[in-house]
Structure 1
Amino acid sequence: MKRTSEELIQQALTGIREAQPDAGMEQRLLAALRQRATAPTPLWRHVLSLPSWNWQFAAVSVVLVATIAYFITHHRPTTIATPITSQSQLPRVVPADNTAHKAVYATNNPGGSKSSGIQRTPKSTLPDTSSTLAAADRQALDDTNAPSHPAPPMPLTAEERLLLSAARKGDPIEVAELEPAYASSLRAAAEDRKKSDIQQYAKLLLGPLALSESMHPTSASPKPDEPPPSPVPDPPAPSSN
C-alpha cells in the first residue's frame, strides 16, 4: 500500500522528536560561538558584507577622482613665450631736429640707401586727460555713494503764514480778499448771509407785536393799503379895494 506524503512527513517528525542529541553537542556549540565572537574578523569580510549601494557610491567616487586627476595633469594652461630682443637689435630712432645724431647714425649705418622701414610719429603736445577724467569719475562716484540728508525746512514767509491762517479759519471774506477771481461771488454770499441774519433778528423783535395786534385789533389803526387823507386847503382871503 502506497503511503501519502502527509504520512511520510508525520513519520519523519515523530522520528526527529524521539531522537536524542549526542552527548556534549551543546557544549561544543557554545564553545564554537564563543571562539567566533572573540576571534577578529578579517577586513575583506567586512568589505564583502557591505550593501550594494555602498559599492556603487565607491565606484562613482573613484571615477570622479580619476577624471579630475586626468584633466589636471593633461590640460595645463599654455604660456606664450615672448622673445626678448637685445639692446643691440633695437633700431635707433634719430630726432629730425638734431644734426649731430644724424651724423652718428650715418656713420653707424653705411648702407643708408635702404630705409629701416620705421616711421616716426610726432610727439603729441596735448595734455594727458586720462588722470583728470579718472579723478573726476572717482569724485562723482564718491558723491553718488555718499549718504544723502534732506535739507532742513525753510521758515514760512509772511504771505505763507497769512495763507495758512486763512485756510485754517475758513472765513469767506478773508478768502475773497486773498482770491480776487472769486471776490464777487464770495462777497455776494457774505451779503446774503448778513441780510438773512437781519431778517431773522427783525422777525424775533416784531413777532410778539404782530401777535398782540392779531389778538386785539383796533379800529382806529389805519389800513396799510389805504393812502392817508389829503389835507383840505384854506379858503382864500378877501381882497381890500
Structure 2
Amino acid sequence: MLNIDWWVYLVIAGVILIIILIMPFFNKKFRDKFTSNDKYKNAKPLKVKQDKKVIDTALISHEEYDNLTEAEQQAFQIYQHNLKLHNNNKEKFLGIYNGFGSKTSMRFEPTVIVLEKKDSCKLCRPYENKILSLYPTSKKYMTMQEAVNNGFHHLGCSHKELDYYPSDSLTNDNVYDDEEKDKNYNLKLKQFKYEDKIRNLKFQKNNLTNAEKIEDIKKQLLIIVEEYQLFLKENNLKRNLLREDYNIDFIEQFSS
C-alpha cells in the first residue's frame, strides 16, 4: 500500500472542494456567452382568470394558450421552466449543496431547450422542446451546430432557447400539431407579402415627382391597407407597423 502523507489527502480534498465551489461561476460564465437568458430573467408568471378564480398558468387549456400573444406564450413556457427549477433548487446534489445552495449549476455540458412557436417552419419544428448541447460534440444530445447545419436558426428565424438542466428542467410536449403550424406559418407568409406591398408603395409615394402618379399610388396604398386590415381581423393577427417601413433592415422584415 502506498505510503502517502496525511497532508496530501488534505490537499486533494481542498482541490475537490474548490472545484465544487467555483464550478457554478464558470458554468454561468460559459452559459451567458452562448445564450440570451438576460431576456428572460425578469419574466413573470402569467395568471388566467377562470370561474372568478386566478389559477396557475400550468392549468390553462389549449384554447386559452392559443389566445395568448406570442410574447405571453413564451413567458408561459419560461414560467413553467423556472417553476420546476425553483422547486428543485432546494434539493441537495450528491448529499451536499454547491456554492449557491443549488444543484442545478452542477452540469457537465451546457445545454438548452428550444421554445415552441405556433407558426414555426418545417426546418425548425424538429427542434422545438428538444435539448441541444452547446458543445461542438456531445455523446448524449444533438449539438446546436448540427441543428444549425440542418436549417435551424435560418434567416428570419425567431426561435428562442432556455438553459436546460438534466433532472431539473421541465420538458413539455408541443402544444400545436403540424397542421396548425402549417396554417399559422402560411398566414405569416401572407402577412409578410402584404407588408412588402405596403413598403413598395410607400417608397414610390415618397420618391416619385409626378403628382398624378403620386395620387395614384396613394389610392393603391389605401386599397391594399384596407384589404390587409381585413385579413388581420379575419385571422386574429396583429399589425406590425415597424415592418411596413421601407427603410427597415432586410432581416428585420421577417422579425416577429
**Which TM bucket (shorter chain)?**
under 0.3
- Select the structure with the greater relative contact order (CA < 8 A; seq sep ≥ 6): 2
Higher strand share: 2
What is the TM-score with the length of structure 2 in the denominator? 0.21
Taking structure 1 as the reference length, the TM-score comes to 0.22
Q: Select the structure that is richer in helix.
A: 1
